[in-house]
Chain A
Amino acid sequence: MIGFLRLAIFAIIGLGGAYFLMSIYMRSLRREALEKEWDGAVGEGLPSRETFIDEGMAAYERSLRAKLIWLVVIVPLVLFGLVLYLMNFTK
């Protein structure tokens, strides 16, 4: 039981950390892309640089791509379940 708790705590720390870092990284990439997009398209009736980036980031937070970061947590958990099943409950 203690062993399982220890595993669970390590998993929460590890997966939570991975999710946190991944979300920061993806956000940073998106912001950089938005900055470059605005810088590359001056004088085409775009809103100010700040508004453009704020709107783009708000759209990003709602996007599927931002939600896919959950895979960082889900895939290891699925693999864990798969290993547990294959190791013990199949021949």
Chain B
Amino acid sequence: MTYVKWTLFGLIALIIFAFFHYNLPQHDVVRIVGTYQERQDLGDWTRVFWASPDDQSATLTNRDVQFIQAVEVDGDPMVYRNEDTGWGWPPYFKFDTASLQTEADDLKSTREAPKWAVVTHYGWRSELFSIFPNAVGIYEVDSPDVRIIPWVNIIILTMLLLIVLTIRAMLKQFKERSIDPVLEDVEEAWDEVEARADAAGDEVRGVWSRFMAWLGTFKGKPRK
């Protein structure tokens, strides 16, 4: 039973972590090497890893998606998709896909004369499932060893923590002010019921013993 419990807790923690890891913004220092646009089939379960830029895109089985090709500082390739998130999830409210693609094109550089850029993105890259993180912002930096403080993540996680603590305090207050008094009332009412039952029991017992005593009067005097 303990194993079941801890497995469940572990699973929930993992899901929460994965949720935030997927949806919160991350920063990569990369060199942009190209951009392309490719028709994507969106009919299978990996649909959740693509955005829904507008209302009609929810029902389309395939559409063109823009991509940004990059090379990381250590030389690994990285490919981002570049899609509007629109008004949907995750709430980046990104509508400037075309502008971002232009900025990326503008930052293209070669290995010999590298220009470094910080790409802000959310999502995961998986070669196996052909899924790509969605680039949401890009800016140029002078050198690849730039220090990035994730302010947005700090603010979001702090606010979420405050919200959780507030909800906990609310529940505590609700329990203290609304549930406990009712429980006390119930307890008192129950005590009363018990007391009455006891009294009734005593009475019955009294009646019974008087009846037995009365029966006893028919008996003769005990013989010696």
Interface, chain A (partner B; CB < 8 A): 1-4, 6-7, 21-22, 25, 28-29, 32, 80, 83-84, 87-89, 91
Q: List 8 A-B contacts (CB under 8 A).
A: A2-B55, A3-B55, A3-B88, A25-B174, A83-B92, A87-B95, A87-B96, A88-B93
Chain B residues lying within 8 Å of A91, measured Cβ to Cβ, are: 103, 139
Q: How far is the CB of B91 from chain A (nearest CB, A)?
A: 7
C-alpha spacing A32/B173, complex, angstroms: 10
Instruction: Write out, one digit per residue, whether chain B residues 66-109 have a CB within 8 A of any chain A CB (1) or not (0).
Output: 00000000000000000000111001111110010001000000
Excluding A3-B54, A32-B173, A83-B91, 19 further A-B contacts by CB distance (< 8 Å) are A3-B55, A3-B88, A6-B87, A6-B88, A21-B170, A25-B166, A25-B169, A25-B173, A25-B174, A28-B174, A28-B177, A80-B93, A83-B93, A87-B93, A87-B94, A87-B95, A87-B96, A88-B96, A91-B103
C-alpha spacing A83/B120, complex, angstroms: 14
Is B33 engaged at the interface, CB distance under 8 Å to the other chain? no
Chain A residues lying within 8 Å of B95, measured Cβ to Cβ, are: 87-88
Are the C-beta atoms of A87 and B92 separated by less than 8 Å? yes
Q: How far is the CB of B55 from chain A (nearest CB, A)?
A: 5
Instruction: Write out, one digit per residue, whether chain B residues 161-199 have a CB within 8 A of any chain A CB (1) or not (0).
Output: 000001001100110010000000000000000000000
C-alpha spacing A63/B98, complex, angstroms: 49
C-alpha spacing A87/B55, complex, angstroms: 20
Chain A residues lying within 8 Å of B52, measured Cβ to Cβ, are: 3
C-alpha spacing A86/B96, complex, angstroms: 11
Chain A residues lying within 8 Å of B88, measured Cβ to Cβ, are: 3, 6-7
Q: How far is the CB of B4 from chain A (nearest CB, A)?
A: 34
C-alpha spacing A28/B137, complex, angstroms: 44
C-alpha spacing A32/B137, complex, angstroms: 49
Given A21-B170, A25-B170, A28-B177, are A87 and B137 also a contact pair (CB < 8 Å)?
yes
Are the C-beta atoms of A88 and B173 separated by less than 8 Å? no
Residue among B93, B96, B174, B177 with most chain A CB within 10 A: B93
Instruction: Write out, one digit per residue, whether chain B residues 102-119 have a CB within 8 A of any chain A CB (1) or not (0).
Output: 010000000000000000
Closest to B52 in A: A3
